[in-house]
Amino acid sequence: MESAARRLLNEPREELQKNLGAEPMSLAVIPEALSDAPMVGRLATEIVRRFSFPDANYDGERLILLERIIDFAANAEREIQEQREKIAELEALARTDELTGLINRRGLEAALEQLLSAANRHDEEGVICYIDVDDFKGINDKHGHARGDKVLQKVAEIISDHVRLDDIVARVGGDEFVVVLTRTSLRNGLRKAKELQHTLDATVIGKGCNTIRINVSLGIQGYDGRTCLADVMAMADHAMYADKRARKLSLVPIGL
């Protein structure tokens, strides 16, 4: 652009900027025929000044000079990128549980849709585990909501430590969690679920009269590429409540 300015206006670009009072890197020389093009219009909405040089031409084309179009285009690009980053951050926050840092129900549903689509394409299967902290209301009533929050955070920590990086852990309700064991059979999923339940049931928080023993009910349901998202979630939830009823009756868990 500098060489064009020298040829067109017969003076160095620095002198041109000085004479016009423009900032460095804020001038653009374009053919007059393109001055009303949509792209130029979008970039030049904040042009401070517009100059026409009827006698200046290049290959027979009349030209115009637009001031600050380059700066504006660069600023617009930065603003667009910043806006995209803010939107991405807000979307991430909208899908994250504030207390545990896990994804929430909205985030889980989005992740499951992608998983089921991938399972359909690659003929994969997996297991969904629905976990509920037993008598969580009693914990809150006896120890207070702050201690109850600590219990939920501990449960989230234990679950996260017992799954693979490719698996998904979500908090979907007050005391309800969902674990998605990806690319695994129902048999392997059952084994892992039992191990996780045993670990959670052996967890104790606090000492003495402040001791809180964690117990959870758990139900599982397998999925593949043909599975309906709503159906598999409902069946895993139903299995969890069946397990909860069995545990209350001191029976062998039937939700598994």
Residues belonging to the active site: 175
- For residues 208 and 192, is the Cβ–Cβ distance under 8 A? no
- For residues 192 and 207, is the Cβ–Cβ distance under 8 A? no
